[in-house]
Amino acid sequence: MKRTRRLAAILIAALLAALTACGTQNGSGTAPETASQAAVSEAAQAEENGSADGSAQAEENGSAEGSAQAAKTESAQEEAGQAGEAGSAQTAENGPITVMDMTGREITLEEPAEKVVALTASDCEILYAIGAGDALVGRGEYCNYPAKVLEVPSVQSGADTNIEQILSLEPQVLLMSTMAQTEEQVAQLEAAGVHVVVSDAQDIAGVYTAIELIGALMGKDAEAAEVIDGMKSTFADLQEKAGEGSGKTIYFEVSPLQWGLWAAGSHTFMDEIAGMLGLTNCFADVEGWAEVSEEQVLERDPDYILTITQYYGEGPTPEEEILGRSGWENITAVQNKAILNLQNDELSRPAPRLAEGAQMLYDFVYGSGD
Amino acid sequence: MRTRSDRFSLWEYALFAGITLAVLCLCVCVGSVNVPLRETLTAVAEALRALVLHRERPSGLGAAIILSVRIPRVLCVALVGASLALAGAAMQGLLKNALADGSTLGVSSGASLGAVIAIAFGVRVPFLPFAGTTAMAILFAFFSLLIILGLAYRMDCSFSTNTIILIGVVFSMFVSSLMSVIITFAADRIQHITFWTMGSLQGKNYTDVLLTGAALLVCGSVIFSRWRELNAFAVGEDNARHIGVNVRRVRLLILLAVSGLIGVCVSVGGTIGFVGLVTPHAVRLLAGPNHRRLLPASLFGGAVFLMLADLTARILLNPVELPIGVVTSLVGAVVFVIIFYRSRKRVKG
Q: Does A283 touch chain B (CB under 8 A)?
A: yes
Residue A303, C-beta contacts closer than 8 angstroms, at least 6 positions apart: A248, A249, A250, A332, A333, A336, A338
DSSP-H helix ranges across A141-288 = 163-168, 183-191, 204-218, 221-242, 269-276
pLDDT tens per residue, range B191-204: 777 777 777 788 88
Residues of A in Cβ contact (< 8 Å) with B190: 142
Q: Determine the Cα–Cα distance for residues B32 and B137; give it in Å rounded to an integer.
A: 31
Is the model's pLDDT at B234 over the cut of 90?
Answer: no
Q: Which of B33, B66, B190 to mutate to test the interface with A (most CBs of A within 10 A)?
A: B33
What residues does each domain of chain A span? 2-66, 76-229, 243-366
Nearest CA in chain A to B184: A141
In this prediction, residues A122-143 reach a mean pLDDT of: 90
Please tell me the CATH code under which domain B7-348 is placed: 1.10.3470.10
pLDDT tens per residue, range A304-320: 999 988 777 677 888 88
Rounded to 5°, angle at Cα B204 from B199 and B210: 115
pLDDT tens per residue, range A350-363: 889 999 999 999 99
pLDDT band at B5 (very low <50, low <70, confident <90, very high): low
pLDDT at res. B128: 62
Residues of A in Cβ contact (< 8 Å) with B126: none
**Lowest mean pLDDT across A231-235, A306-310, B55-59:** B55-59
**Is A291's CB within 8 Å of B202's CB?**
yes
ipTM here? 0.77
CATH topology of domain A76-229: Rossmann fold (3.40.50)
Asked if B303 and B78 count as a contact pair (C-beta separation under 8 A), the reply is: yes
**Is B33's CB within 8 Å of A255's CB?**
no
**Is B69's CB within 8 Å of A283's CB?**
no
pLDDT at res. A12: 55
CB contacts under 8 A, A 221-250 vs B, are none
**Is A328's CB within 8 Å of B64's CB?**
yes
Q: Does A6 touch chain B (CB under 8 A)?
A: no
Q: Which residues of A183-210 are buried (b: 16+ CB within 10 A; e: fewer)?
A: eebbbbbbbeebbbbbbbbeebebbbbb
In the beta sheet, which residues pair with residue A281? A250
In this prediction, residues A96-113 reach a mean pLDDT of: 84
Is the model's pLDDT at A295 over the cut of 60?
Answer: yes
pTM summary value: 0.76
**Is B198's CB within 8 Å of A259's CB?**
yes
The string of DSSP codes covering A230-251 is: HHHHHHHHHHHHHTT----EEE
Nearest-CA distance from A338 to chain B in Å? 19
Q: How far is CA B9 from the centre of its chain?
A: 25
Q: Which of B29, B30, B69 to mutate to test the interface with A (most CBs of A within 10 A)?
A: B69
Nearest to B191 among A260, A310, A326 (CB): A310
Equal fold, A76-229 vs A243-366: yes
Nearest to A261 among B64, B129, B202 (CB): B202
Q: Does A258 touch chain B (CB under 8 A)?
A: yes
- Looking at domain A243-366, its CATH class is alpha beta
- The pLDDT mean for chain A works out to 76
Is the model's pLDDT at B4 over the cut of 50?
Answer: no
| SS3 at position B321 | coil
**Is B319's CB within 8 Å of A285's CB?**
yes
pLDDT band at A255 (very low <50, low <70, confident <90, very high): confident
CB contacts under 8 A, B 253-312 vs A, are none
In this prediction, residues A159-176 reach a mean pLDDT of: 85
Residue B293, C-beta contacts closer than 8 angstroms, at least 6 positions apart: B5, B6, B7, B8, B287
Q: Does B190 touch chain A (CB under 8 A)?
A: yes
CB contacts under 8 A, A 115-144 vs B, are 141-142
Is the model's pLDDT at A47 over the cut of 90?
Answer: no
pLDDT band at A181 (very low <50, low <70, confident <90, very high): low
What residues does each domain of chain B span? 7-348
**Is A260's CB within 8 Å of B203's CB?**
yes
Asked if A339 and A251 count as a contact pair (C-beta separation under 8 A), the reply is: no
**Is A310's CB within 8 Å of B64's CB?**
no
Residue B14, C-beta contacts closer than 8 angstroms, at least 6 positions apart: none
Nearest CA in chain A to B121: A312
Is the model's pLDDT at A78 over the cut of 50?
Answer: no
pLDDT at res. A44: 41
pLDDT at res. A198: 87
Q: Does B70 touch chain A (CB under 8 A)?
A: yes
pLDDT at res. A4: 55
